[in-house]
Structure 1
Amino acid sequence: MSEANIAAVRATAEPTVVVDDVHLVYKIIGKSGKGGAPAALRRMILRESLPGMRQVHAVRGVSFTAYRGEAIGLIGPNGSGKSTLLRAIAGLMPPASGAIYTQGQPSLLGISAAMMSDMTGERNVVLGCLALGMKPSEIAEQYEQICEFAGIGEFISLPMSTYSSGMGSRLRFAIAATRTHDILLIDEALATGDAQFRRRSEARIRELREQAGTVFLVSHGLGVVRQSCDRAIWLEEGKIVVDGEANAVVDAYEERHDPEALAERLAVLRGNATAMSDADQESSI
């Protein structure tokens, strides 16, 4: 989708997420050192911080508006604030300053999403669907489809503690994608799994968008962002570098961080264009 088409969509679409000059800060606690209970009591009385504690200013003055029907990729290097921003949009982390407004209920799907590891995949499907507000009759109707989408076969009857991280991620996505979400937040969930699963996931994201949802996708797989998103926001050190059409933003990101990958992609595109041109000339003879 071009920048002009994106602007036309925004002119008529309903805003679903407004992020207004948001700063996000969290604390990391290192080793507390010695001292035991007396030292801890002294810190409580004097309101001292724990030794080794430091603050991380993960997101710095970020502002943007998301619209119904958009799929937005959040890209950037490790530590750029992508996942932290997603958690804040989900309501799991309050801003240190600024504000986040949502129209509808955000649903966060990530590799670290809570699942009961000692329960079987079958039980987790039921519990996950109940958490989404589905009725038992709806769960029974969708159960086989969820299992087929996840593609974990006979492992569905085994405890999730026996699953690989990729299998667990596929099952979480299959459960979350069962229902249409007002705002679906996906954190690296599509980075795992084979090409067939990624194609199914990308197709499902397109369906969710068509059903009037808004999708945010955090991924280091830039190809997934190109295929699944029409808009991308590039974050560096907690700040927005570029916000625009997905392919243009990913190209700019690769130009800075992985110029060889960009050069290879452009070469493939030129080769495809040449092959199509030759085929057209042959068909016209």
Structure 2
Amino acid sequence: MPGTTEPKQLVIAPAVVVDNVAMTYRVASSGPADPGDEQPASRLKRWSRRPSTVEVRALATLSFVAEQGEAIGVIGLNGSGKSTLMNLLCGKLQPTGGAVYASSTPTMLGVSAALVPDLSGAQNIMLGCLALGMTHAEIAAKYESILELSGLEGSINLPMRSYSAGMSSRLRFAIATSIDPEILIIDEALNTGDDEFRDRTKRRMDDLRAQAGCVFLVSHSLKTIQDLCTRVIWLDKGDLLFDGEPAVALNWYRRYTKELANKDRFAAAKVRRRMLNDLRPVSIQPLAAGRRKSDV
């Protein structure tokens, strides 16, 4: 109508765009495809030569868009490509195909290397925060919230080597999430411990998401994925099998792993084929793909 204006469409910028990304490695190989068919003379000749290289596919071509405010769980058996994908997202690896774009530099939960077992938890909070680039003033302002999130008030002055695996994991999580990253990658088993700590963890991740943050959580704990994530990506042998609702993903994943545990590889392969057939391909539009590549 004359005199009226159409409402503006708001374009929500994605946090991460994975555009046709693939990853292969070249590794040394000194043996034939079938060693049983090799003659002794040929084997001796092979041992005298320099090892050849073979190409190993870590990730098949995949695409997805992670929106701001999402908590994305990444599941899959060992060797499925989860850690490779996380290293691509944070820039530790460069893909052999495609590109990764991010709205800011992703932060990986990786303060473990900076922590010292013989130092107390309190000293490790200082050390870990310094490793994340925080100033002494920022650490002082954040210290109480880190301590509260970790739930280690009664043990914070004990050496970290005396902590259980769960206590250490909680301290690492509390330190790593103290910097309010826009994109957080947690690529390790997050032991959420008791219900009280699980609730604190969920609140912290909800806070990050409310600040237009995006969280990627790799975990073998399906309970953790169920409690903390709004979306699930399932990788298997480098293939993307599922990207969507956590309840649906976990239901099929449990079925798949149960068939494998029962050594029914035919039934497991049937589940895998169904996942691949039902997966809806993602087409990255020029607007998203044209965003700047993360300079990590």
TM-score, structure 1 length as denominator? 0.72
Identity, % of aligned positions: 47
Q: Distance in 2 between matches of 1:131 and 1:18?
A: 28
Indicate if the aligned counterparts of 2:17 and 2:65 stay in contact, CA closer than 8 A: yes
2:230 is equivalent to residue 214 of structure 1 = no
Letter in 1 for 2:95: P
Distance 1:197 1:258, change over 3 A: farther
C-alpha spacing 1:122/1:111, structure 2 compared with 1 (3 Å): closer
* Residues 1:219 and 1:235: Cα distance change in structure 2 (over 3 Å): same
SS of the aligned residue for 2:233 comes to strand
Alignment check: 8 A CA contact 2:192 2:201 kept: no
In 2 relative to 1, CA 139–19 (structure 1 residues): closer, same or farther, beyond 3 Å?
Answer: same
CA distance in 2, matches of 1:178, 1:214: 15
Q: Displacement of 1:27 after TM fit?
A: 6.4
Give the residue type in structure 2 aligned to 1:57: R
Q: 1:79 to 1:192 in 2, by over 3 A?
A: farther
Deviation sequence 1:248-276 (CA, Å, 0-9, x none): 222222233348xxxxxxxxxxxxxxxxx
The residue aligned with 1:22 is 21
The Cα shift of 1:134 comes to 2.7
User: CA contact under 8 A between 1:173 and 1:189: conserved in structure 2?
Assistant: no
- C-alpha displacement at 1:30, in angstroms? 9.7
Partners of 1:172 and 1:154 in 2: CA distance:
17
Deviation at 1:65, TM superposition (A): 1.2
Give the corresponding residue for 1:69. Answer: 69
Alignment correspondent of 2:161: 161
Q: Judge conservation of contact 1:233–1:240 (CA < 8 Å) in 2.
A: yes
Q: C-alpha separation between the residues in 2 aligned to 1:231 and 1:24?
A: 23
What's 2:271 paired with? none
Shift of 1:113: 5.1
Contact map agreement 2:126 2:139 (CA 8 A) in 1 = yes
Alpha-carbon deviation of 1:206? 1.0
Distance 1:30 1:196, change over 3 A: farther
Alignment of 1:1-285 (within 5 A): 12-26=11-25, 48-49=50-51, 56-109=56-109, 114-258=114-258
Greater mean deviation of Cα atoms: 79-88 or 19-28: 19-28
For residue 133 of structure 1, give the secondary structure of its aligned residue in structure 2. Answer: coil
> CA–CA distance in 1 between the matches of 2:95 and 2:233?
19
Pairwise CA RMSD of aligned residues? 2.8
Compute the displacement of 1:189 (Å): 4.3
What SS does the aligned partner of 2:79 have? coil
Contact 2:29 2:51 survives alignment (8 Å): no
- The verdict on how the C-alpha distance between 1:30 and 1:176 changes in structure 2, with shifts beyond 3 A counting, is farther
Q: Number of paired residues?
A: 232
- Contact 2:26/2:56 (8 A) holds in 1: yes
SS in 1 for 2:212: coil
Shift of 1:55: 5.7
- The 2-side partners of 1:68 and 1:152 are apart by 31
Give the deviation of 1:208 after TM superposition: 0.7
Deviations 1:86-145 (A, max 9, x none): 122111122222221111021111595542334332222112222333332221122122
Which residue does the alignment assign to 1:40?
Answer: none
Mapped contact 1:18–1:64 kept (Cα < 8 A)? yes
AA in 2 matched with 1:14: A
One-letter amino acid of the structure 2 residue matched with residue 195 of structure 1: D
**SS of residue matched to 2:57:** strand
- Does the 8 A contact of 2:170 with 2:191 survive in 1? no
Cα distance in 2 between the residues matched to 1:120 and 1:89: 32
- Structure 2-normalised TM-score? 0.69
Structure (1 or 2) with the greater helix fraction: 1
Q: Secondary structure at the match of 2:109?
A: strand
Letter of the aligned partner of 2:123 in structure 1?
A: R
Unaligned runs of 5+ in 1: 1-10, 32-45, 260-285
- The answer on whether the counterparts of 2:111 and 2:131 sit within 8 Å (CA) in structure 1 is no
Q: 1:120 to 1:134 in 2, by over 3 A?
A: same
Q: What SS does structure 2 have at the residue aligned with 1:124? A: helix
The letter of the residue matching 1:218 is V
Q: Which amino acid aligns with 1:90?
A: C
Contact 2:182–2:208, Cα closer than 8 Å, also in 1: no
Moved over 6 A (4+): 27-31
